[in-house]
Structure 1
């Protein structure tokens, strides 16, 4: 690498010969173009665009290629004096730069340079939902949870691009995930329209998270589709769950919600079905409840990180439709749970109402962003 990092004056060039003036010297129009490339040197800090400037002539093209053959796209300015890459130089890479120029007198030349960036001392990674190729419900947000803190939230958010098939309006919002980690979600202003195609391009490679966060060293992308408009309405006062599809009632199911008057109450507001987990072990000690129970539970559908599910609860059969006597979940019969489990998909909203609840589902407790007004959610963007 050191051998490549020669001063620009020593870089190779090619093109037509310079025509001498009457005294045997190059004419003013054909004096060499001075090309400057930044950054320059070995192990320079990453995270800045590559800039190429020319004086005494014009840039006609610039090519910047890393050691894996990937090119940094960019565009020569209208006056031909500068070129800036669209993306930033990433950590731990070597770059070769070729700048084609033309003097004022029309002589074409080529200048070459090289530089390398320092490797990332710390790497930040992303866990994102939904997965590629998924079909999800109309309340599904795009959610990115970061391994390390993100101090440079505005810089990170600038690298996140959402494309939809119908120009859906939405906004990013920064929240604290239930795990305590930094998280950013994108939700539409209103529920998605069915059949919308959605693509996330997170061009994060070469972006610095900030203090204690480290560098992103890769990009992320996912594409998914919105399914039917299904809304689950849970009335804890009448002890009924109603599944609506495209505005029509499909079925009403008697249920039993969280026991009133204490920690076993259910949450209210809009919760979003996070995952269909099937048969799982539920242990009350894991969510800090008294009167410990430890059961295998069928048809489990997660609604919050704090442990609220909809699921089969045959042990509570006498309460379905008339009393709330669960430990916070929405229980129903085996038969109804089996049917319901087959109907819903992750991303379907559960709109829960009831007088005696623990409160509204928080944005970071699952996908609770829908419990904020649109203006409140917009204010959570780092670019506002």
Structure 2
């Protein structure tokens, strides 16, 4: 931008002020200081002097000092903190902090008009431009670049974007690296629902050994609920050995019909209920009781429908007990518990539990069940013939934790 200045001989010397416009400057003219490497922190913001009475000793030909300062400067500014712009005198009218493809940082001007603070923090390895205007029409800009991240943390999200899932499906976030700053990460995970569903984040260890945080509602979701997760993580430091997040994540999904699969280990039967009505009643055989081949009890959540897969016993710690191609496979836990077709076990359907841990049924019944259930449907497993309760990290076992205990797992409680 251009600047209008009186000649050196006509302008009083004021060594303490470096950014001024004289009273004779043409109204509406704005001055821009092009900051060099040593001046990236401080940008001068100058508006035209409006005239009026002056106090004793004041120079009526000199505009008020309206210089600004930015808390971040240079080419290796520390990321992970808000951007703060401070005006020496007068009031800020607007501040814009932009970062190319990374977008803008929103913020608010203080009540006294002297400062502006961004709502989110500065991300690593990002070049920012700060543009400010004051209430007198002056404007200027400053630039800075944050240091890059030595280590980057990433995550995986479930469920997938734009999917329809069952009423027990949690939001589940698994991190590549350890998360020490759990509270900072959790604050950045924004969940919104179409009907203000009550829920809570809970931190746990995934079956893989990685840090994980799940958001589950207090009770099963209501059918038709629309859910959005905005993980505003760009610029969050996850702590020692964890690294920085350098991007945001988002996922959206919708809750489908109210379906519950009830598995009775003692009666050797499985029933599918939809909207409170039973639509399937299937004889089955679950895990052999009394050892590692027994099934889990509690609420498991259908994690995936995997169709025909090769099941090998050594992958679940059962030696060489089996190696089979299995149809209509529906995964219930990470540890290898499935519901699936098991025609080789037909003599035990409805009579006894004699499988290697899974819930087996005929081809026809498995096909019928497979065709109607969806990922996120709860399998409520009851009975004495079990080896324990599904753990919260072994698939989606959060429903086996009381609501109060689940809330206590939040880093913000």
Could you list the runs of 5+ residues in structure 1 that have no partner in the other structure?
none
The answer to which of 27-36 and 180-189 deviates more is 27-36
Q: 1:65 aligns with which of 90, 98, 118?
A: 98
Q: Secondary structure at the match of 1:43?
A: coil
Q: Residue 292 of structure 1 corresponds to which residue in structure 2?
A: 321
Structure 1 distance, partners of 2:185, 2:363, is: 46
State the distance in 1 between where 2:60 and 2:295 align. 84
Match of 1:16 in 2: 48
Task: State TM-score, norm by structure 1.
Answer: 0.94
Q: Could you tell me the TM-score, scaled by structure 2's length?
A: 0.88
Q: Which residue of the partner structure matches residue 111 of structure 2?
A: 78
Query: Rg larger in 1 or in 2?
Result: 2
Aligned length: 379
Cα offset, 1:330, TM superposition? 0.1
2 CA distance for matches of 1:10 and 1:364?
Answer: 50
RMSD: 2.1
Find the aligned partners of 2:41 and 2:170 in 1 and give their Cα distance.
Answer: 53
Q: Is the 8 A contact 2:44 2:66 kept in 1?
A: no
| Alignment deviations for residues 295-348 of structure 1 (CA, whole Å, 9 cap, x no partner) | 100000000000000000000000000000000000000000011100000000
Tell me the secondary structure at the aligned position of residue 178 of structure 1: coil
User: What corresponds to 1:322 in structure 2?
Assistant: 351
Note if 1:281 corresponds to 2:310: yes
1:374 to 388, 403, 413: 403
SS in 1 for 2:364: helix
Q: Deviations over 1:29-52 (max 9, x none)?
A: 942123121112221111111001
Matched, 1:258 2:287: yes
Contact kept in structure 2, 1:231 and 1:243, CA below 8 Å:
yes
SS of residue in 2 equivalent to 1:163? strand
User: By how many angstroms is 1:94 displaced?
Assistant: 0.7
CA spacing shift, 1:79–1:65, aligned 2, 3 Å = same
Residue aligned with 1:44, SS: coil
Q: Distance in 2 between matches of 1:180 and 1:381?
A: 19
**C-alpha displacement of 1:65:** 1.1
Instruction: Name the residue aligned to 1:233.
Output: 262
Give the match's secondary structure for 2:387.
coil
| Structure 2 alignment gaps of length 5 or more | 1-33
For 2:198, which of 169, 172, 186 is the aligned residue? Answer: 169
Give the deviation of 1:67 after TM superposition: 3.5
2: CA distance between counterparts of 1:183 and 1:382?
A: 12
SS in 2 for 1:286: helix
Residues 212-234 of structure 1 deviation map (CA, whole Å, 9 limit, x = unaligned): 00000111111100000000000
Distance 1:35 1:148, change over 3 A: same
Q: Aligned equivalents of 1:165 and 1:28: distance in 2?
A: 59
- Aligned counterpart, 1:50: 83
SS at match of 2:379: strand
Q: CA deviation at 1:81?
A: 1.2
